[in-house]
Structure 1
Amino acid sequence: MAVKGLFKAFSGGSSGDSKTESISVITSDDYARRIEVLDDFEQAGISWLWATDEEGRLIYLSEKAAENLNKPIGELLSVPLTALFENDPDNPDEKSDRPLHYKFRKRSKINDLVVRRIPATLTQGDRPTWWMIAAHPKFDDAGQFHGYRGNAKDVTLEYQRKLEDSRLAEFDSLTGLANRHRMDSQLNGILGAFKAASRSCAIMMLDLDRFKQVNDTMGHPAGDELLKQVATRMRKIIGDRGEIGRLGGDEFQIILPDIDDRGKLGELADKIVKIISQPYPIGEKSAVIGTSIGIAVAPYDGVEKDELVRSSDLALYAAKNSGRGQFRFYSADLKDEEEKRRLLVEDLRDALENDQLDLHYQPVVRTDDHMVVGFEALMRWVHPERGAVSPDVFIPIAEELNLINQLGEWALRRACVDAMHWPKSVRIAVNVSAVQFANRDFPEIVRKALADSGLEPDRLELELTESVFLGDSETTDNMFKTLKEQGIRLALDDFGTGYSSLSYLRSAPFDKIKVDKSFVDSCTQKDKNSAKIIAAIVSLSDALGMETTVEGVEAFDQFSLVCSKGARYIQGYIYSKALKLSEIEEKMGSGEFRIEPDGPELYRPDRRTVFRRIGAIHEDHRYDVVMRDLSKTGARFEGMLGVPVGTKLVLDLGGGQLVISTVIRANESMLATEFETPLVNDGAGGLCTRHRVSPYDLASAGMPLAALPPGNYPLSHNISGQAGKPQFMQVAI
């Protein structure tokens, strides 16, 4: 009975004495009622229906779908669906790289594909829209294609939420830049794809100099605001050339696909350093930071992510250890530098305790009569094993080890004692770091150094850079006031390299401005404005009643120019290098110290004296020679006899750096060559080639292997490894 009753219920009947109830079932033949159900379905918004013809043009679309697109349905029919929607490139779930129109052309089934409204089809008042579509291709019995029949629904809210979740997982919440996870994924993907195609990819590793001081003196909210402004500046510089990521703290990374030109990379890095170093408005205050950059390029400096990142890290450390505020390319010898620096960190404390440090003094000379009016104290460290260690190397180490106050106090006391050996008309200048200047005990340290030595206060000149203005302005003003009350002179060093110097001159009681060497280096070049800048600084200084010292003058053309611009005091090699105290006493005797200028007639900024072995390749033979001089446009080397002027040579400078050159002078075994393509700045005060050439590429191009440096060349199967008879004589050097 139960089964019978159940059957009757489904068939519209009833059992027993129950009242008969009939159900009006919609059959496949009842077209009107079927359409009514479909209309109800569409009006409910559960899903919309659409259909296309064989050309992909819409021949049917639900009214609600047209309303969603903010278009009259008449404007949408006959329009290809692919003209309205496209794959979303930001879809975190869409792994296929097949575009929507490709899928339409293949006439395959479409399963729950999220597509977005093409931005160009949006008009004023439209909102971005994402649909999820599914469709089946329609074929007749003869196999003829008649278009798609599909459904769609608006998934904009859910999809945007998913995109935001994905963005939060891949982007830094503070700056909006990519995070470490995304940068690692991007770099892995790029290197993997580029390896097979032998394409290059550069990465830059950056961190911010003096950022910790901003956090410590202005607070973490100020530090966060600073990081946001740094990110904005970096986006403007990089644009669409690469991707920028914040790896954490004040550490950033830039991925630059398809760039291996070290000239362009150096120019870009230099621009980043300059822009990042401009002051940042933080509330009513201003913060000044800098940045250092390490650069590595695949495949030369690594082909795997970890290897390339390691190379860029080493280059970054080298840039920081060389004085900060600069860039550095990776080179193989940086691994040795890292180990040497680790040992230096351990040795610096011992050097300070065991009196291994010394002060040398560079004269400041009056141009009218070439009389020495002062000296700048410059710290020197002669390591018992490594020899002379540059201050650009050990001063940053002292800052990291918190030894800078101790080191600075030692230099101040020593300089005051040494200056007592000189005439009273001669002053002594001592550099003061921002860390020292921020020490509240600094005025007392200065007072004690003067009292213990007996030096008159007006003979002591403290050289400060713009970094001392970082932090609380009231504290800085009080420090200036206290020092000036002692009768000490103050000088603003490296003037013109910052971006707010005029405001500093207005607020700080300086007695002297020092024009930075970078302007002097380029003052004789016609395409530079350095000469005008020097003239403007001298005029400004005169108007404010201050002295001006021009630093870094080395040649007579520079000397004549800066003197013509009004320079009255010069500090540079044209007068003297830094001297030991004993040398000064010997030359000064009991009277005044006069130095006649002496130097080259013309300044050659790009010539560097070097002494290292390189290779000189001529046709199918390689010669080992010793390079003596290197400039951007040529080199001078020794080791080959009988080479006529005009001979073409390929110079192997090492590390894949090969330069096509022509012999322009020959004096027995000494040759001078001119480069076909000028070298560029390597960020470390040296020069490098714009591009590096793999020996494999040379071998595949037909250069005999005997002419190449030692190595494994897998492309050598069609090349002879035998060298011909050398045309020139090799000379042992």
Structure 2
Amino acid sequence: MRRSRFAKAIETAEAPERPSIMDALWFDVTPPDSADEDALCEWRLAGVQHAPIILGVTHVLIAVACIALSAHHTYSSLADNPFVSASLVILFDAATAALLLTRKRLSLAPHTIFRILCAYLATAGVLWTWFGYAVSDDMFVTPIAAAPIAMAAGIAMRTIVSISSPPLALVNMLVSIAATAFLAGSPLLPIGVAILSLVLFTHSVVAAQGFIATGRKRLHLETQARKAQHFVDEFENSGRGWFWETDPLGTLSYVSLQLAEDFQCNPEELLGRQFTDLLSVDNNTSGVVEERKTLGFHLSARFPFSDVVVRPASEQDVHWSLSGNPIFDDRGRFLGFRGIGTDLTEQRRSEQEITRLARFDSLTSLPNRAMMRQTLDEALRNAAHRQKGCALFMIDLDRFKNVNDTLGHPVGDALLRQVAERLKSVMGNHGQVGRLGGDEFQAVMPGTVDVGLLESLARTLIEQVSRPYTIEGHKVTIGASVGIVIGDPGRASADAMVRNADLALYAAKAAGRGKHRLYEPSMHSEAAERQVMENDLRQAIERGELAVHFQPIVRAAGEEISGFESLVRWQHPTRGPISPSKFIPLAEEAGLIGKIGEWVLRTSLEEASNWPDHVRVAVNLSPLQFNDPSVVAMVSKHLNETGVRAERLELEITEGVFLAEGDTTDDTFAKLKALGVRLALDDFGTGYSSLGYLKKAPFDKIKIDQSFVRGAASATNRNAAIIRAIVTLAETLGMDTCAEGVETHDDLQLIRELGVSMVQGYIFGKPSPAETARELANSTTVHAEGFACIREPRHRLMRRAITCIGGETTEVRLRNISSMGALVECDIPIAPGTELAIDIVGVGPVRGLVRWAQSGQFGVLFGQEFDLARLAPKKEKPITTQMVSSRHVLKRQVG
């Protein structure tokens, strides 16, 4: 509390007030609340820190003298023996003196030392009173009254050493009065000592007030001086100017280091030289010679001046601006000039740079947003004059944020510079390309309206930007999306073209990125619809519109449940079910994927806790989630809260996480594996499919994309060979494989033959609610359901036929006849692999191979392609048969 006024005075640059009596009384023993107060305590401690030594010498001298006079006396007890009390007080003096000498090594604060000294004076006074009492009995028979002398000397020396500190003076006053009252036989002596001690104490308080006030004023001035020096240093070090000073004769008495560096010399070399010898006035302003008062006149006339343009007396083309004021003392005597100078050359360069930055991007040196708007306006004006339109490209980089987040902004900046070079190379003379900010670019093509040329430029642009980059040892791969709009001459406006190009760009991104789209009027309604859907998605979790469905993953060998993949579904209250292919990309763009992904993970683990311990749950992790630094902590948190073993959680990751390879990616993989979770590479084969991913990343499973699985049994494609290669690679690396999208028995049989570990698809079940998944998880096996083979366009009407099975001729019925095979209804059992000759009534014979068989029916694969036209009735106008795609039929069948 006592320091608050002083601290406030320092902060407001006002002189501190004189301390109060209480402030002075307790100043020495109260902890300081600022560095300045601590320094003031140190100053005060310097006046009393030798007190133990002074009192120790006094105690030694008086004790030796008194004990020598009573050497013949014998003592009946220790209390009467002056040797004991004298030894104790002297030892106490020595210990306290040693403590004070070593206080810095012990890091004792000044107020702590003052407290120790107060205790020391009190203790030393008590011990010295004991000594006076011990020698008092024998001293009355001696020529000298030793006891009073000893006590008087002790009181006097304690007063001397404590007079500068009120707390010490107070302690000394109390001890002296008590000692005198104890030893004196008359009350007059204690009263006299009390009066004298009170006077001395009052003097101590008044002196402390003056000392503290003076010290605070000195510290206040030093603080202001330090602030002023700090401001001077900051101003000079900022490079915005310098300070100079001259004496009454006009010679330099102070020169900033910056000014000396401009003259390529040391400041000492400029001191003592005439200011006018170093600088000359620039008399040429705007090419007109003007008579101006010279700098020397200003200095000699002692007139203030400001912004006088001068230049060094050298060949350098440098200009400065000087300002100065004359200095006078309190008596009006002229002391010289003091002023500042600024570098006009740098200012002019800065103005030129500011002009450049106002038009060009500082990172890529491409025209910036303002310059591109000016270019577009000029192109539209020229188009109106020439009656020839212009085109606008809006270019956005795909996955650039991922590079910034994983490899840092310096790598991102270097990437932008390389992208800018590629864009300029592609555009060439076709138009002007510029950077709008972030990862957005724009290109204006005056006079270009040929759609073919524009689309060709867009494809080339996307191809060039998508080529890999090598930056600081990192291999970086990004992409680009392009929106194109063509402006009609005389009718298009810049604002409308920019808006429409943005809509086309968004359409390109919605189409899967790495695309280009021409603006269409329908994009306005699509954009509004997308905005509404984004707003609805933000509230979907709170409203309970999202749900997690689970699709079984089955072991290919035994058809028992291995686990389930968690798939999020959105049931909109008015729109109905919305496909994940629509709202997941929207969630990524709107920054909602992290919140949704965490909710799916938590919900999946909570449901998995109800399954048998051997059943796993697979959860998709988007690249944005994977690159979040908190992803590991988030996964660990939900594992601990749900109690699910880490080995039961399988995180499915796409190749998108590798598009910006770096230490962060490897570190996240290592931390996830340290948790014990399994990692699966999802959609393998659809992206870049770099084998380097499998070499570095610790995957436990490879999921073969459904585009390779569906129709793999067909002899018309090479999917089977691709799957075989993936399985061989995975087995070599010790990884499991899982085939996605298995829908037919033919594909399932082939998957098993190729050695795929696990199967996932409609043949074993669609994604279903948690209750259905819980029942499946507790079942032993899952039966495959669905069609036998790939369903192609087929004849839906039943046909009678004759065939021979096991040497017995029998009538069968053919259904769903396609060019590749048919479903045969037959009551006689038949084994898969049996070759048959089937005579279709009214059509003729065909040969086929039984691929599968079950009770009452089997599937036959024709030996050669069957012409469905043979089944058509013999009429002039053939009846058109209804062709149903395999996927639609399959959905109705499974549903």
TM norm structure 2:
0.42
AA at the equivalent of 1:315: A
Counterparts in 2 of 1:486 and 1:671: CA distance versus 1, 3 Å: closer
- Paired residues, what number? 446
Alpha-carbon distance between aligned partners in 2 of 1:571 and 1:459, rounded to the nearest angstrom:
17
SS where residue 601 of structure 1 aligns?
coil
Change (3 A) 1:671 1:403: closer
* 1:259–1:423 CA distance, 2 compared to 1 (3 A): farther
Asked if the contact 2:559/2:781 (under 8 Å) is kept, the reply is no
Q: CA deviation at 1:510?
A: 0.7
How big is the shift at 1:208? Answer: 1.9
Structure number with higher helix proportion: 2
Deviation (angstroms), 1:502? 2.5
Structure 2 equivalent of residue 260 of structure 1: 451
Give the CA deviation at 1:514: 2.4
- Aligned residue identity for 1:515: I
Going from structure 1 to structure 2, the CA distance change for 1:454 and 1:328 (only over 3 Å counts) comes to farther
TM-superposed CA distance for 1:377, in Å, is 1.1
Tell me if the contact between 1:423 and 1:591 (Cα under 8 Å) persists in the aligned partners.
Answer: no
* Distance change >3 Å, CA 422–CA 315, structure 1 → 2: farther
Identity of counterpart residues, as a percentage?
A: 45
Q: Secondary structure at the match of 2:481?
A: strand
Partner residue, 1:406: 595
Larger displacement relative to structure 2 (219-228 or 447-456): 447-456
CA distance in 2, matches of 1:512, 1:558: 20
Out of 432, 453, 463, which is 2:652 matched to?
A: 463
The offset of 1:227, in angstroms, is 1.0
2:469 alignment counterpart? 280
Alpha-carbon contact 1:277-1:498 (below 8 Å) kept: no
When residues 365 and 221 of structure 1 are mapped into structure 2, their CA distance, relative to the original with a 3 A threshold, is same
Q: Tell me whether 1:447 sits opposite 2:607 in the alignment.
A: no
Q: Does the 8 Å CA contact 1:244/1:255 hold for their aligned counterparts?
A: yes
Matched residue SS, 2:625:
helix
Distance change (3 Å), C-alpha of 1:317 and 1:542:
same
Q: Is the 8 A contact 1:365 1:372 kept in 2?
A: yes
Change (3 A) 1:318 1:509: same
Deviation (angstroms), 1:395: 3.6
| 1:279–1:500 Cα contact (<8 Å) kept | no
Aligned amino acid, residue 418 of structure 1: E
Letter of the 1:206 counterpart: I
| Alignment deviations for residues 39-88 of structure 1 (CA, whole Å, 9 cap, x no partner) | xxxxxxxxxxxxxxxxxxxxxxxxxxxxxxxxxxxxxxxxxxxxxxxxxx
Matched, 1:485 2:485: no
Please tell me the residue identity of whatever aligns with 1:260.
V
* Aligned 8 A contact 1:553 1:574 in 2: yes
Q: Distance in 2 between matches of 1:593 and 1:400?
A: 38
Question: Does the 8 Å contact 2:681/2:703 carry over to 1?
Answer: yes
Matched, 1:311 2:500: yes
Q: Give the stretch that moved more between structures: 342-351 or 218-227.
A: 342-351
Q: Which aligned pairs between 1:471-510 and structure 2 lie closer than 5 A?
A: 473-499=662-688, 501-510=690-699
2: distance between equivalents of 1:562 and 1:239?
51
**3-state SS in 1 of match to 2:730:** helix
CA separation in 1, counterparts of 2:763 and 2:457?
A: 33
Over the aligned positions, Cα root-mean-square deviation in angstroms equals 4.7
Instruction: Report the alpha carbon displacement of residue 396 of structure 1 after superposing the two structures with TM.
Output: 4.5
Whether the aligned pair in 2 keeps the contact of 1:519 and 1:530 (CA below 8 Å) is: yes
Pairing 1:513–2:702 present: yes
Distance 1:274 1:215 in 2: 22
Matches within 5 A, 1:8-157: none
Shift of 1:197: 9.8
- Equivalence for 1:356: 545
Structure 1 CA distance for aligned equivalents of residues 881 and 428 of structure 2: 48
- CA shift for structure 1 position 386: 2.7
Deviation at 1:353, TM superposition (A): 2.1
Contact 1:195-1:303 at 8 Å conserved across structures = no
The answer as to whether partners of 1:575 and 1:598 remain within 8 angstroms in 2 is no
> In 2, Cα distance between the equivalents of 1:270 and 1:392?
24
| 8 Å Cα contact 1:495/1:501 also seen in 2 | no
The 1:364/1:269 distance shift into structure 2, 3 A limit, reads farther
Q: Is the 8 A contact 1:278 1:499 kept in 2?
A: no
- The 10-residue stretch of structure 1 (251-260 or 378-387) with the greater mean CA deviation from structure 2: 251-260
Q: Is 1:579 aligned with 2:781?
A: no
Q: Which residue of structure 1 aligns with residue 527 of structure 2?
A: 338
Give the corresponding residue for 1:159.
none
C-alpha separation in 1, matches of 2:645 and 2:577: 32
Say whether residues 1:212 and 2:401 are aligned partners.
yes
Residue 226, structure 1, aligned to residue 425, structure 2: no
Q: How far 1:419 sits from its partner (Å)?
A: 2.6
Change over 3 Å in CA distance of 1:370–1:667 after alignment to 2: farther
| Aligned-partner SS, 1:455 | coil
Question: How much has 1:251 moved relative to structure 2?
Answer: 0.8
In the other structure, the counterpart of 1:87 is: none
Does the C-alpha gap of structure 1 residues 588 and 193 become closer, same or farther in structure 2, counting only changes over 3 Å?
same
Distance 2:709 2:430 in 1: 34
Distance 2:695 2:423 in 1: 31
Partners of 1:224 and 1:529 lie apart in 2 by 43
Post-superposition shift, 1:397?
4.7
1:228 match: secondary structure: helix
Q: Which runs of 5+ in 1 are unaligned?
A: 1-163, 605-664, 673-733
Q: Secondary structure at the match of 2:451?
A: coil
Supply the AA of the counterpart residue of 1:449: H
Query: Larger relative contact order (C-alpha < 8 A, sep ≥ 6)?
Result: 1
Counterpart CA distance in 2 for 1:488 and 1:461 is 6
SS at match of 1:593: coil
Aligned pair in 2 of structure 1 residues 578, 409: CA closer, same or farther (>3 Å)?
Answer: same
Equivalent runs, 1:363-378 vs 2, <5 Å: 363-368=552-557, 370-378=559-567
Question: Secondary structure of 1:385's partner?
Answer: coil
Partner of 1:384: 573
For residue 729 of structure 2, the aligned residue among 532, 540, 543 is 540
Q: 1:274 to 1:524 in 2, by over 3 A?
A: farther
Deviations 1:306-343 (A, max 9, x none): 43432221132244456655554544333223223333
TM-score (normalizing by structure 1):
0.51
Q: What CA distance in whole angstroms lies between the structure 2 residues aligned with 1:274 and 1:597?
A: 42
Change in Cα spacing, 1:404 to 1:547, as seen in structure 2 (3 Å) is: same
Conserved in 1, the CA contact under 8 Å of 2:561 and 2:777? no
Structure 2 unaligned residues grouped into runs of 5+: 1-352, 794-875, 884-895
Evaluate the alpha carbon distance shift between residue 219 and residue 423 of structure 1 in structure 2; reply closer, same or farther with a 3 A threshold.
Answer: closer
- For residues 548 and 673 of structure 2, the distance between their equivalents in structure 1, rounded to whole angstroms, comes to 25
* Stretch of structure 1 that moved more, 279-288 or 469-478: 469-478
Whether contact under 8 Å (1:206, 1:292) holds in the other structure is yes
C-alpha change, 1:308 and 1:545, in structure 2 (3 Å) is: same
2:433, 2:715 → 1: CA distance? 37
Q: Which amino acid aligns with 2:451?
A: D
1:556–1:602: 8 Å Cα contact kept in structure 2?
A: no
Task: Note if 1:437 corresponds to 2:629.
Answer: no
In structure 2, relative to structure 1, the CA distance for the partners of 1:217 and 1:447 (3 Å cut) is closer
Q: Alpha-carbon deviation of 1:509?
A: 1.0
> Counterpart in 1 of 2:435?
246
Contact kept, 8 Å, 1:375 with 1:427, in 2: the verdict is yes
Provide the C-alpha distance between the structure 1 equivalents of 2:576 and 2:506, rounded to a whole number of angstroms. Answer: 21
Change over 3 Å in CA distance of 1:295–1:505 after alignment to 2: same
1:252 Cα offset (Å): 1.9
Structure 1 pair 168–443 and aligned structure 2 pair: CA distance change class (3 A): closer
Distance 2:518 2:554 in 1: 37
Report the CA distance between 1:245 and its aligned residue.
Answer: 3.6
Provide the residue aligned with 2:13 in structure 1. none
Partner of 2:224: none
Q: Which residue is equivalent to 2:787?
A: 598
Greater strand share, structure number: 1
Structure 1 residue 601: deviation in Å? Answer: 1.8
Distance 1:253 1:499 in 2: 28
CA contact (8 A) 1:549 1:570 kept: yes
